[in-house]
């Protein structure tokens, strides 16, 4: 994986977003308590893992499941004039282009571990509408 800048949504968002850290911690607590299995949590689809490997940006923290330093964040944007399955944003330039549109789109950041297939939504924000 090449070094990339972090494609967070804060610098292009039009309004406040949703942070899913509490949901993430509740999911991990349920795993530690035995209410969820590793197979239920490490179930990233093949395309998500592929996007993580080739388009992800380092998360700067270890995977909460396998504790490897392979955790990355993948950013997807859904909205008008984008494919119905969304667009995996791979550069700051592409993110700024989407953010400069008059129409509002929604960006989602997913943390993914390609090693064990852990994945969890970390944040969502409105983008664009300038």
Q: Provide the whole-model pTM.
A: 0.85
3-state helix, strand, coil in the chain (%, to 5): 25, 25, 50
Dihedral over alpha carbons 105, 23, 75, 62 (to 10 degrees): 170
Backbone angles phi, psi at 98, to 5 degrees: -65, -40
Phi-psi label, residue 129: left if phi above 0, alpha if psi -120 to 50, beta otherwise: left
Q: Is the pLDDT of residue 10 over 60?
A: no
Would strands 57-58 and 87-89 be described as parallel, antiparallel, or unpaired? unpaired
**pLDDT tens digits, 12-68:** 555 679 999 999 999 999 999 999 999 999 999 999 999 999 999 999 999 999 999
Sorted by where each begins, the domain ranges of the chain are 18-128
pLDDT attached to residue 24:
97
Higher per-residue confidence, 85 vs 11: 85
Question: Token pair for residue 38?
Answer: 């590793």
With H, G, I as helix, E, B as strand and everything else as coil, classify residue 95: helix
């Amino acid at each position: 994986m090449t070094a990339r800048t972090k494609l967070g949504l804060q610098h292009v968002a039009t309004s406040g977003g949703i942070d899913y850290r509490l949901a993430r911690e509740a999911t991990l607590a349920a795993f530690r308590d035995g209410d969820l299995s590793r197979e239920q949590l490490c179930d990233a689809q093949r395309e998500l893992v592929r996007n993580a490997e080739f388009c992800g940006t380092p998360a700067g923290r270890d995977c909460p499941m396998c504790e490897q330093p392979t955790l990355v964040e993948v950013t997807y944007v859904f909205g008008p004039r984008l494919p119905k399955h969304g667009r995996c944003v791979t550069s700051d330039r592409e993110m700024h282009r989407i953010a400069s549109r008059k129409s509002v789109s929604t960006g989602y950041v997913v943390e993914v571990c390609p090693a064990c297939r852990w994945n969890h939504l970390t944040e969502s924000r409105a983008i664009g509408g300038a």
